[in-house]
Homo-oligomer: A and B are copies of this chain.
Amino acid sequence: MSSKKFSRNKQEKIDLIYNTFFNLILKRGYHNVSTNHIAKSAKISIGTIYKYFPKGKEDIIRKYFEDSMETMLNSEELISINSNNIRDFLNQFILELFKNHEEKKGYNLAFRSAIQSDKALYESHKEKIFNFFKDRAQKLRKANKNFNEIPEERLIEAFIFLYNLINAILYHHLSVMELFDADDKLVEYLTNLVVFSLKFLLKP
């Protein structure tokens, strides 16, 4: 029975803005969605958007991904993987990305669009990815003799490349997802792809 206009629940409004924005992006493309569109579509005033996201569109994307990236990379599931078992790690990681994909297709497409015109967002995202895989690479090299011979930098680069490859497959809008009749099959394909690629990339 609480009035919509004076809802004291900030998070509700912020989520409304997120959802509206990402839905609009899915329908019309990032660059064809304006802050005014968001306001109209969400039935809130333009001022409200700028209250929560003072720099407009960029801010919405940035803040959303700062949160969601943090959450994803620091999720229980990823943290708790026994890092010296690389198969487990890869499989778990792909599953994690895949779960993300299912529920966040709109958000991720938005993100891919946004980093194309926002260098700062792109750099910060790159750094986060790098640090995440640096940590993984270091643990792997400590725990597993096979990886000792591969330079740390190369290992990190390989991980990042494959991370991007998986994302490209999951989110690239030219993909023909219908190829994989079941999710299992897609995950299986991706895992095989990664294992095969890693071998290729890391051989001396």
Smallest CB separation, A6 vs chain B (Å): 13
CA distance A179 to B172 in the complex (A): 22
User: A1 at the A/B interface (Cβ < 8 Å)?
Assistant: no
User: A45 at the A/B interface (Cβ < 8 Å)?
Assistant: no
- Contact A197:B201 (CB < 8 A) given known A165-B168, A168-B168, A169-B165: no
State the copy count for this chain: 4
Beta-carbon contact of B169 and A157 below 8 Å: no
User: A43 at the A/B interface (Cβ < 8 Å)?
Assistant: no
In chain A, residues 157-189, which have Cβ atoms closer than 8 Å to a Cβ of chain B? 157-158, 160-161, 164-165, 167-169, 172-176, 178-179, 189
In chain A, residues 42-85, which have Cβ atoms closer than 8 Å to a Cβ of chain B? none
CA distance A30 to B176 in the complex (A): 25
User: A116 at the A/B interface (Cβ < 8 Å)?
Assistant: yes
Smallest CB separation, A120 vs chain B (Å): 13
